Structure formats: C-alpha cells, structure tokens
C-alpha cells in the first residue's frame, strides 16, 4: 500500500531566480515546545539557506528548536526569555539588526512579532516585517497597540483558510495583506524510505501479520486519542485480526501528563493492553507510517494538519475530522475520508469501510500522495520569496547584499 511515485521521488529543489539577489532573513519563534509549528520554522529556514539566502534564527536558549536549528547548520541568535534579561536581549538584537540590516524579518508567533516590531523601531532600519500565524484566533485584538503593531507588519500569512478567517475577523489588518500559505513538508523525506512494513512492525513490537490502524501526534486532549481508543475497542470486538499503533508522546507539563495517564487508564479499561501499542515520542514518523495500513487523525480542531499531509505523502489512506484546516487538505472520497469530530462511532465506521474495500484504500492512497506534492517545502519557500522580492521592489528597498560577516552566535 505504501507505494512511491518515481516521478515525485525525483523532484529536485528549485533554485532562486538568477535575477533575484540573495536575501538576508531573520526568523523568530518564541517557543519552548516541539511540534509541527517548530518543525516548520526549521524546515523553512533550512530551505531558504539551501536556496542561497543568508538565514539567522532568533530562538529561546536551551530549547529543542535551538538544538534542531544548529543540527541543520543554521546560524542561531538566542535569547533568555526571562524577566529583566529581556532588556539585554533587546539591546543585543538591536545591535545585530543595525549591523546586519536584514531585508526580511519573519515572526512565527505573536510574542516574537511584538518583540521584533519594538526592536526594529529602536534600530531605525527599513527591514520588512512579516508574521506567519499558525493558530486560529477566537478573540478580537483591535486596540490601539494592536493597530500600531499590525500597521508595521507588511503581511500576515495564514497556514489555512480556517486561520485566515480568524485573522480577518479579529485583527486590524486589511484583507489584501492576508495570504493563505500552508506549511511545507520535506517531500522526498516522506516518499523515499527503505524500511519495509515487516521491518517496521518488528522494530515496534507489532504482530507482522495483523492489520495496523495507527495515529501519530502529541498526546493531548484535542488530538482525539480517546475517540481512537473507543473506535478500536468497537472494531476489535468484531475483528481480532487488527491492531493499533499510537505514535507520539506527551509534553512534560502537568496537563498533558495528566491526560496521558487518563488515556492509559482508558486503554486498560477497554482491554486494549495487548493490542494497541504506544511508542512514546522518540520515533522517526516514517517508521510508524511504514508499519501502518490505515492512518487516522481524529483531532477535534487542527489549524492545518501537518501530520495528515506527511501520512498522505508517505502513501497511506487517511481518515481525519472535517474541522479547522483539515478540509483544505482532504477532499472527502477523493484523497481521504472525512468524519465529524469527537465521534468514535463514525471513526469506527470509516475504518471498517476501508478495511472492506482494498481498491478504495489503494485509490485514496495514490491520490493522497499525488495531491500533497504542492506542499514540498522548497515550493513553499519559493512562494514566500516571490512575495518578499515583490514587496522589497514595491517599497523601494532592494536587497542589501553583500553584508559583513555574521557576529558570533550565542
């Protein structure tokens, strides 16, 4: 079922337009977590670096996102994110901006946007400021400070139509400055994998001859683990030849650890101890995908659904909830199946439908893998670049390359 399309596997990263000068880009993400948002920041920055741009990331010190940035060979400037030390961080960042004069300053969260806006004002530079918003908005932010903040922002990118609606409804910014641009994935990373299904199952301690229904994601209340276990309980009463795989772990924070204990208790109560396997968090997602026959994603509300795109790219038939940004990815019956959120019975029925229709599984998997080609990270990086160059020309600020050597990172 996990077939690789040779034409897709041979994709090579597009290079920048020879007529466009390399850009100096400062990317900021003020996050101590590790998930889809943080991976996207690293992958996008790495893609720009590979495409010939000078990229520096501004990240909290001692976090996994910092270590991942360094692993990718990216230039990193760190900050403390602690109380009065923020003042020294701002002074240091101001000095870096004044010396390096970045063309583009790109924030991935509201905290970073506020800090960068303030620092750019203190630096008196003409760098263009952008925000990519990864989460939906539920509350209006139209006070005077927000009006000033978003007036300084050149453009806001929304990762899905769901996020874009929240921006237009709640932020003081005109529609023409809001653009939907989904996250990117490392396409070849998920279409090329040497591990066979049997090898993956042995590695994960799964029965090699039983059908695997799997899900992958952080163990939080919103991801649908409860619905998944209830659906698997229903299915296993009818068909003992299936098994479950839950890939991913919970963060160390008390709320997520409490939910993890709740899910483990539910698993025991449902009698799924020997048939639904939890991997924990330290796992290459491709190993989990390789072991699966069907991927399910019963998240209650997802701003986009990067894991869904990865599973589709790997070549799996996917079932997900028709909520948030998921309908931007899946067309029901064409490249996956959509179900209502928080409905374990609907999930069980959709899984049964695929189990009983191998031809449907194959068609959905092939269509899914083909449809996600547009999310290749280099194509997404190129779309950002097109906007950056256009805006620099429009505002009369051509790229300032070459620049002085970068200062030592901290």
Residues 382, 352 within the same domain: no
CATH of the domain at 308: 3.40.50.2000
404 belongs to a structural domain? no
Question: In angstroms, what CA-CA distances link 25 with 46, 97, 293, 375?
Answer: 11, 11, 41, 21
Residues 178, 48 within the same domain: yes
Residues 164, 202 within the same domain: no
Residues 13, 109 within the same domain: yes
For residue 196, give the 3-state DSSP assignment: coil
* Cβ(35)–Cβ(64) below 8 Å: no
Which pLDDT does position 409 carry in this prediction? 47
* Cβ(322)–Cβ(338) below 8 Å: yes
409 belongs to a structural domain? no
Which pLDDT does position 404 carry in this prediction? 54
124 belongs to a structural domain? yes
Residues 169, 199 within the same domain: no
Q: 3-state DSSP helix/strand/coil percent for the chain, to nearest 5?
A: 45, 15, 35
The number of beta carbons lying within 10 Å of the beta carbon of residue 91 is 12
Distance CA 184, CA 47 (A): 10
287 belongs to a structural domain? yes
Residues 235, 135 within the same domain: no
Which pLDDT does position 32 carry in this prediction? 87
Residues 166, 146 within the same domain: yes
Residues 18, 81 within the same domain: yes
Residues 121, 166 within the same domain: yes
Which pLDDT does position 21 carry in this prediction? 83
* Cβ(27)–Cβ(108) below 8 Å: yes
Residues 334, 286 within the same domain: yes
Residues 344, 204 within the same domain: yes
Give how many domains the chain has, as a whole number. Answer: 2
Which pLDDT does position 251 carry in this prediction? 79
pLDDT by 10-residue block (mean), the chain, 410 residues: 36 48 94 87 96 96 94 93 76 94 96 93 92 89 85 94 94 92 89 86 94 94 96 94 93 88 95 93 86 97 93 96 95 97 97 96 94 92 95 76 52
Q: Which two tokens stand for residue 400?
A: 């300032």
408 belongs to a structural domain? no
Domain that holds residue 10: 6-184+376-394
Which pLDDT does position 104 carry in this prediction? 97
Residues 162, 265 within the same domain: no
Which pLDDT does position 19 carry in this prediction? 47
Condensed to tens digits (0 to 9), the pLDDT of residues 66-106 reads 999 999 999 999 998 666 677 888 999 999 999 999 999 99
């Amino acid at each position: 079922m996990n077939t690789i399309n040779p034409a897709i596997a041979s994709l090579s990263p597009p290079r920048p337009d020879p007529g466009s000068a390399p850009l100096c880009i400062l990317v900021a993400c003020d996050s101590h977590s590790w998930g889809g948002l943080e991976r996207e920041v690293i992958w996008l920055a790495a893609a720009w670096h590979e495409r010939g741009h000078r990229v520096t990331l501004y990240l909290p010190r001692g976090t996994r996102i910092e270590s991942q940035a360094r692993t990718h060979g990216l230039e990193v400037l760190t900050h403390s994110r602690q109380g009065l030390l923020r003042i020294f961080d701002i002074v240091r960042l101001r000095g870096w901006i004044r010396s390096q004069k970045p063309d583009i300053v790109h924030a991935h969260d509201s905290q970073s946007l506020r800090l960068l806006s303030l620092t750019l004002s203190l630096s008196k530079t003409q760098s263009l400021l952008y925000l990519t918003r990864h989460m939906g908005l539920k509350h209006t932010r139209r006070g005077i400070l927000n009006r000033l903040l978003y007036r300084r922002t050149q453009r806001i990118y929304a990762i899905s139509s769901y996020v874009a609606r929240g921006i237009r409804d709640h932020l003081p910014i005109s529609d023409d400055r809001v653009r939907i641009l989904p996250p990117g994935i490392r396409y070849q990373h998920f279409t090329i994998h040497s591990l066979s299904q049997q090898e993956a199952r042995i590695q994960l301690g799964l029965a090699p001859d039983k059908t695997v229904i799997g899900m992958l994601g952080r163990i939080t209340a919103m991801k649908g683990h409860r619905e998944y276990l209830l659906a698997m309980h229903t299915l296993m009463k009818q068909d003992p030849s299936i098994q479950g795989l839950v890939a991913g772990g919970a963060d160390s924070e008390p709320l997520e650890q409490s939910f993890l204990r709740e899910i483990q208790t539910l698993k025991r109560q449902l009698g799924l101890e020997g048939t639904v396997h939890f991997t924990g968090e330290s796992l290459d997602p491709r190993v989990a995908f390789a072991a699966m026959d069907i991927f399910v994603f019963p998240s209650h509300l997802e701003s986009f659904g990067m894991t869904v795109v990865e599973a589709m790219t790997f070549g799996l038939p996917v079932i997900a909830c028709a909520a948030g940004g998921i309908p931007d990815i899946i067309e029901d019956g064409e490249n996956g199946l959509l179900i209502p959120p928080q409905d374990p019975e609907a999930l069980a029925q959709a899984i049964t439908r695929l189990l009983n229709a191998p031809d449907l599984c194959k068609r959905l998997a092939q269509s899914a893998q083909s449809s996600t080609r547009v999310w290749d990270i280099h194509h997404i990086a190129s779309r950002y670049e097109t906007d950056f160059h256009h805006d620099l020309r429009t505002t009369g600020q051509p790229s300032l390359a070459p620049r002085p050597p970068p200062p030592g990172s901290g």
